[in-house]
Amino acid sequence: MKLSRRDFVENAILAATAALATGAAKNAFAQEESSAAKVGPNDKLRVAVIGVNGQGGGHIGEWVKNPDVDLVAICDADPGAFGRREGQFKDLKNPPKYVQDIRKLLEDKTIDAVSIATPNHWHALMAIWAMQAGKDVYVEKPCSHNVQEGRVITQWARKLGRICQMGVQSRSMTGMRQTLEFVHSGKLGKVTAAHAICYRQRDSIGLVDTEAPIPKGMDFDLWCGPAPHVVPKRKKLHYDWHWVRATGNGDLGNQNPHELDKARWGLGKQELPKRVVSLGGRLGYIDNGDVANSQVTIFQWDDALLISDVRGLPIKSPVTFGLPGGGPFKGAANIWYGTEGYAVGPNYTSGVAFDYDGKELGKWSGGSYQAHFANFVKAIRSRNHKDLHLDIEDGHLSSALAHLGNVSWQLGKAVPLGTRPSMLAEDKHVVKTLTSFEEHLKEHNIDVTKTPFALGQELVIDPKTELSTDDAANKLFTREYRKGYDLPRV
């Protein structure tokens, strides 16, 4: 086969990159073998929690009460975060130490696993660094900040033989697992559509023209990590990073990865969809956020449909979608539609199924957050990623759905309220969702001249390459990484 000069150069680069990656993997794999060998069936796992201003506090609580674990370290760029959590472990015989710099923490070879609950922009890099340092990883949703990061984490996990679980706790809830068993049983007929609901009120973060105050003693350069070293203009630094693109992914990538994961789980889809379109906006208030707060995203496979439905403004009227049972819907929920009936998951721990006349077909409940952390520990002991209820590859696929929706929306154009995509325009589930969504916005008297409503670009995706046919979209499937915080590639 003849090679052009460009082909030759590209192949040479790929070969060199592969050699470098193999060398790094060999070093890390040696660490993995020694780590696995030292953790016997009766030994306690030594765990560190990274990022404890928000969800990390929940991680601390779960690790402290797990009898198979010793919480040995807390890592956060903000020392004040550690101080605010000391009450959670003050009664421990050996309280965890505080380490500010993740790089110093990972040098500690006595740590077996890390539990990551930092802002989203750090998830992938931190998970990869930890695995390269010979540690197993529990990482909060979304496991990535963009589409490509999730695949790269998965590649490193397989290359290094590490156990890596994403933190969508409903995957391990007894009631939810039983609900999904029923969805997969065939008793609803063929399940071809799912609806991932996130009706969580998110107030405006305010509009200021001043930089956010940096907490005393905080290493801001470290907090920025892969993101640009720019102090954001907003009232506070912590938590509101969710609503800024450089560090967060909006509620589509905050709460809704929980629901997207369950929706995809019910549909049984183990690859990205072929078509995606999203619409909505940051509607109803003007502030320092730059991601959507109200957003509907439609995902299409050859034989299945998934609708993500995010509403950050208060729900004024009951939302039922005309279903005879299972509603009205509020908070976070899921609906799986079959030809003979449907199932509803109204929370993380329970589910109920009906036929289309409203007759109840089954009901399930039960579970605790601890179950997901315990599942992670079980897989560490077995050294088998198939024992995980939410292995990193599943985590990647569910997180990438959120990123695809946001890319579509970012590439969109301002349109009048009520404008709809042509994709699946006649589908009954799409019509019901968009009609309800539009009524919801009208109830809030949304003025699109002040807060624009955008119809996103329809994306065509190749599930094998996980790339779009559009170059502008593919550029948004990754990001520019700051020097010293580059994403290591396999």
Q: What is the CATH number of the domain that holds 26?
A: 3.40.50.720
* Per-residue confidence band for 325, with pLDDT thresholds at 50, 70 and 90: confident
In a shared domain, residues 409 and 309: yes
Among 131, 148, 170, which residue terminates a domain?
170
In a shared domain, residues 166 and 183: no
In a shared domain, residues 216 and 193: yes
Domain around 357: 174-368+392-475
Q: Is residue 377 part of a domain?
A: no
The predicted structure's pLDDT at residue 23? 43
**pLDDT above 70 coverage of the chain, percent:** 91
Burial class (CB in 10 A: 0-12, 13-18, 19+), 200: middle
In a shared domain, residues 111 and 130: yes
The predicted structure's pLDDT at residue 40? 61
For residue 439, give both structure tokens. Answer: 């009524």
Q: Is residue 226 part of a domain?
A: yes
Among 143, 170, 197, which residue terminates a domain?
170
The predicted structure's pLDDT at residue 199? 98
CA atoms of 268 and 35, how far apart (whole Å): 34
Q: Cα Rg for the chain, rounded, in angstroms?
A: 23
Query: pLDDT tens-digit profile of 164-188?
Result: 999 999 999 999 999 999 999 999 9
In a shared domain, residues 362 and 271: yes
pLDDT at 202 over 90: yes
Report the mean per-residue pLDDT for the chain.
Answer: 93
The predicted structure's pLDDT at residue 128? 98
Contacts of 14 (CB under 8 A, 6+ apart): none
Q: Is residue 383 part of a domain?
A: no
Contact 427, 296 (CB under 8 A): no
Cis peptide before 346 (omega within 30 of 0): no
Q: Is residue 183 part of a domain?
A: yes
In a shared domain, residues 245 and 145: no
Q: Is residue 130 part of a domain?
A: yes
In a shared domain, residues 194 and 164: no
In a shared domain, residues 72 and 116: yes
In a shared domain, residues 146 and 290: no
- The number of domains in the chain is 2
Closest to 380 measured CA to CA, from 66, 18, 86 = 66
Query: pLDDT tens-digit profile of 22-60?
Result: 444 444 433 444 344 456 666 899 999 999 999 999 999
In a shared domain, residues 83 and 204: no
Distances (CA, A) of 3 to 8, 9, 15: 6, 10, 15
Q: Is residue 387 part of a domain?
A: no
pLDDT at 16 over 50: no
Q: Is residue 382 part of a domain?
A: no
Contact 196, 308 (CB under 8 A): yes
* Per-residue confidence band for 21, with pLDDT thresholds at 50, 70 and 90: very low
pTM (2 decimals)? 0.92
Query: pLDDT tens-digit profile of 62-72?
Result: 999 999 999 99
- H or E segment at 378? helix 370-382
Q: Is residue 307 part of a domain?
A: yes
The predicted structure's pLDDT at residue 197? 98
In a shared domain, residues 88 and 135: yes
In a shared domain, residues 109 and 37: yes
Query: pLDDT tens-digit profile of 99-132?
Result: 999 999 999 999 999 999 999 999 999 999 999 9
Among 170, 197, 230, which residue terminates a domain?
170
Hey, which bits of 406-468 come out as E strands?
413-414, 454-455, 459-462, 467-468
pLDDT at 407 over 80: yes
Q: What is the CATH number of the domain that holds 353?
A: 3.30.360.10
The predicted structure's pLDDT at residue 326? 82
